[in-house]
Structure 1
Amino acid sequence: MIHNKSVLLALVVSAYAMEMDSDSPRVEFHPVNPGSKTFHWILTLFILLIIPSISTIFAIANKLSWSLLLHFIAAGYSIFDTLFLRFPDGDNHENRTSRGTSWFLTVLLGVTVFIGTLINGTNLIINKFYPNYGGGNGEYGKMTKLYKSLSVIVVLTGWVRVCMAPVALFGFCYGRHTGQCIAHGIMGSAFIGYSFVLSLVLVVPWIRKHQLLSPNTPTQSQEFYDSTVMMVWGIVNTFTEHRWGEEDWSMGDYQHTSMGIIWWAGGLLGMFLSRKNKRSFIPGLLLIFTGYSMSAHSQHLMISTKVHAVFGIALMSAGVSRIVEISFLLAGKSCSLPNGEILQFQYFPSFCLCLAGILFMGATEEQLQLVHDLGSDHSAYILVVSSAAFMIFLWFQVLLWGYLKLVGYDEDGELATGIKYESIQDFEMDEIEDNETV
């Protein structure tokens, strides 16, 4: 009888405690000037990331005048943003990394504009003091290649700037959280970059159809390069996640170091199997192992554990779908036969990588603690973050579609003029003849 009363009392106390916990006051969150800060971030996103990415597409398509015009707009805003605007936290302070990125981007845009005006002959300084030096570089000259390279770097720096702004606004990543923020930012961005690379290889027809156009041309498959990058990253990760012989091993050290080991081991095998332009399942398999490992990582917060689990599922989905695409859908070929059209399923692996990347970037401890304190749950947060992945992947496809339009291709990859080439060499020779005629 006494035992039953004790059990009943324990149940009542537990229920009361749960009720008190559910009714406990939420952490109040009162951001300073949220409207103006949100507008500032959206404006920065548009002018310092979207416009430079469009400018880069124009540059790569050799439409340098339009590219330079857009870079002028971005440079003007970047100067104003760096000198007069801030992304301050609640203490009215913007971290040094965010400020440094802003200054670096401003200088980089200035150099890019200078090189661009030098190419098209509108550089006032060069025209005044060195009138015989400006212009006449040509579409494939060294200065033009430098301008295109700088354009790509501007986009990457703009991405860092846009991603650093919310970190600065919320006052994240100080103290012991710095290392985690860096790891999540770099790794998440790497997965998103990998997504763009796979989209590029898929959408650009002369890359996708290289086996059909030039079957005898010596080259390497995409999996060879993927395996090489994974191998290098694995070696770096193996010897940087833990200071061997200098400190005790923690659970995190075991988890991250083991991922480094399997990446360089699998990467070496992938390089061997994908030599001589052969397709390989190894990169996809490494994504599956990595996704499984990340989904099994226990976190301090339940919401963090669940977000990491969905990140792992997205990464495993990318790996499984990549293997299905290579081994079954394409049967080891670079594209679908007989005409090399894009199959809808082929977009799925790269989208999953984009989703995994943005989920990982949004899975830091401070971010998820804030979401938890505001009373949200993992499902709502994952849906919002996944929406960003949809928009990023859409932007990738729009950029690639726009590039093909600029160089005279339609959505299916065929030349809009109706001219078809039997090989990549024919395409290049025809382009050279046109340049010589001009």
Structure 2
Amino acid sequence: MEMDLPSAIANAQKEHFHADWFLKCIHWLLSLAILVIFSSIGSVYSLINSYNRRSLIIQTISFVYSIIDSIWGYRDYFGHENKMCHGTGIFLIFFYLTVLIIGFYNSKINNSNKVISVTYKVLSCLIVLCGVIRLSAGVVSMLEFCYDDHTGQCNAHGIMGMSFIVYGVLLSVVLVVPWLRVNKGKYSQEMYDSTVIMVWGVINTFTEHRPWEPWSHGDYQHTSMGIIFWAAGLLGMFLSINRKRNFMPALTMILTGYAMSGHVQELIISTKVHAFFGYVLMFGGLARIVEISFLLDDKDESIDGEIRSFQYLTPFALILSGILFMGANEEQMQLVVNLGADHSSYILTITSAAMILQLWILALLRFYLKLTETSKTNNSAYDDINTLDHSDGQSQFELDNFSV
């Protein structure tokens, strides 16, 4: 029996749907490899002056790919280009171009201008963050999320979740890099943390509720979170005077986790994911208090001089909670329900992603320390040779502009 015309059209559309989905997945994975993984290696190279040339090569390759990526773009199943992907793609092209211009100029002047050198390093690290945003836009386009009324809610989850991840990354850097782990600055770590928390709280207090609309249950929840943030931040700043360590940033994590653990959602699975997010955040705050109170001496080093495995818990908890919160938006929770999965399966998958991300961050930090050690060794060897006497009275090596 021959298939009728409507059925044939439906089957053709279904085959096109699967082929289009396969190509989008390949495109996304390729973007992950080049715009995030490859670019993050280039960012590490950029932090050491003697490896700037390698970082520029990697950034040039990524820049060329970003142009191709923007031209290709992500297209949803209705045939029109997703505006967010197009916008982030164009922004990434100009951002890469800016970094390359500054990087080539910095290389030309041999890192002699500290402002240019520091600017290049900072922008090189921000490239990775831009790549992550680009990939997030790809997911939004592939799954057709965050359109219309869902846009604000997705943005809130994305921004807040990314903030937790960035905080976890910063704590990992401070923990692993020795010259940052030993606090010799004017202020303690908690002074910086409390200041950011205070500013964030002020912004949330006055932006979570529209004055011309009646107060809702969600408005009370989000505004109260903003109030506790700036109140805790101010107290933390006061307790940080004279480079004192204190518990307020960690206590803020615990209070935030407590509030989110009881944040009831429309879907049961969403309520459970939010609850687990809260538990993880509370655990991370408790681990931070234990670390500051019992594992660090007066010089902010571990008592035995080594990093204990317990100290990795807080950065990991922040990264995990950030990914959980980013993945707890309304439409993503509905997708999990439609797939027939439960909250435990989804949480385990998210936790696996957080572990891989933490692994990659720690690997990059170890790579940075190794490059720094190698660069210093090479410089020391060159300096020793440069001081040797030669029969012609001339030095065989010119290293006046060479710096780590």
Per the shorter chain, which TM-score range?
0.7 to 0.9
1:99 aligns with 2:64: no
Name which of 5, 23, 29 aligns with 1:42.
Answer: 29
Identify which of 391, 408, 414 aligns with 2:373: 408
- Asked whether the equivalents of residues 279 and 332 of structure 1 are also in contact (C-alpha less than 8 Å), the reply is no
Change (3 A) 1:205 1:297: same
Displacement of 1:259:
0.5
Q: CA deviation at 1:147?
A: 2.1
Q: Which residue of 2 aligns with 1:128?
A: none
Determine whether 1:231 maps to 2:198.
Answer: yes
Q: How does 1:219-258 map to 2 (within 5 A)?
A: 219-244=186-211, 246-258=212-224
* CA contact 1:195–1:350 (8 Å) conserved in 2: yes
Q: Is the 8 A contact 1:279 1:333 kept in 2?
A: no
Does 2:264 match 1:298?
A: yes
The offset of 1:318, in angstroms, is: 0.8
- Provide the residue aligned with 2:393 in structure 1: none
Q: For residue 90 of structure 1, report the CA deviation from its aligned partner.
A: 2.1
Q: Is the CA contact (8 Å cut-off) linking 2:36 and 2:132 kept in structure 1? A: yes
Code of the aligned partner of 1:222: Q
Superposition deviation, residue 105 in structure 1: 0.4
More helix by share: 2
Give 1:175 deviation, angstroms.
1.2
Cα deviation for residue 113 of structure 1 reads 2.0
Q: Distance in 2 between matches of 1:437 and 1:101?
A: 37
1:317 paired to 2:283: yes
Q: 1:117, CA displacement in angstroms?
A: 2.7
- Number of aligned positions between the proteins: 369
**Equivalent residues of 2:21, 2:142 under 8 A apart:** no
Distance 1:243 1:333, change over 3 A: farther
Partner of 1:130: none
Of residues 261, 282, 297 in structure 1, which corresponds to 2:227? 261
Unaligned runs of 5+ in 2: 1-13, 381-398
Selected match of 1:201 from 162, 165, 174: 174
Match of 1:163 in 2: 136
1:303–1:377 Cα contact (<8 Å) kept: yes
**Residue matched to 1:77:** 65
Of all paired residues, the percent bearing the same amino acid is 50
Which amino acid in 1 is paired with 2:261? S
SS of structure 2 residue aligned to 1:232 = helix
Quote the residue 1:125 is aligned against: none
1:304/1:409 CA distance change after superposition, 3 Å? farther
TM-score scaled by length of structure 2: 0.86
Q: Is 1:227–1:268's contact at 8 Å kept on the other side of the alignment?
A: yes
For the aligned residue pairs, the C-alpha RMSD in angstroms reads: 2.2
- SS of the residue aligned with 2:206? helix
Q: CA deviation at 1:409?
A: 7.1
Instruction: Please state how far the C-alpha of 1:137 moved relative to its aligned partner.
Output: 4.0
Q: How many angstroms apart in 2 are the aligned matches of 1:116 and 1:436?
A: 16
Q: Output the CA distance in 2 between the equivalents of 1:409 and 1:382.
A: 40
Mapped partners of 2:233, 2:178: distance in 1: 27
Contact conserved, 1:289 with 1:316, CA < 8 A, in 2?
yes
Distance in 2 between the 1:298 and 1:406 partners?
Answer: 48
Equivalent position SS for 1:336: coil
The aligned counterpart of 2:125 is 152
The within-5 A match list for 1:103-182 is: 103-120=90-107, 135-138=108-111, 140-182=113-155
Which amino acid is 2:164 matched to? F
Q: Deviations over 1:262-282 (max 9, x none)?
A: 110111101111111111111
- The runs of 5 or more residues in structure 1 that have no matched partner are 1-27, 121-134, 212-217, 420-433
Of 392, 395, 407, the match for 2:360: 395
**Structure 1 residue 341 corresponds to structure 2 residue 329:** no
Q: Is the 8 A contact 2:295 2:303 kept in 1?
A: no
**1:355 match:** 320
1:123 matched residue in structure 2:
none
Distance 1:31 1:292, change over 3 A: farther
Say which of 335, 347, 355 aligns to 1:382. Answer: 347
1:64 aligns with 2:52: yes
CA distance in 1, matches of 2:164, 2:193: 12
Distance 1:332 1:381 in 2: 42
CA 1:148/1:31 → structure 2, altered by over 3 Å: closer, same or farther?
same
Residue deviations 1:399-426 (CA, integer Å, cap 9, x gap)? 111111111079xxxx879x9xxxxxxx
Tell me, what secondary structure is at the counterpart of 2:137?
helix
The answer for the alignment partner of 1:372 in structure 2 is 337
Q: Secondary structure at the match of 1:138?
A: coil
Local SS of the residue matching 1:158: helix
What SS does structure 1 have at the residue aligned with 2:373? coil
Q: Deviations over 1:1-20 (max 9, x none)?
A: xxxxxxxxxxxxxxxxxxxx
TM-score by length of 1: 0.80
Question: 1:239, 1:257 within 8 Å by CA — same for their partners in 2?
Answer: yes
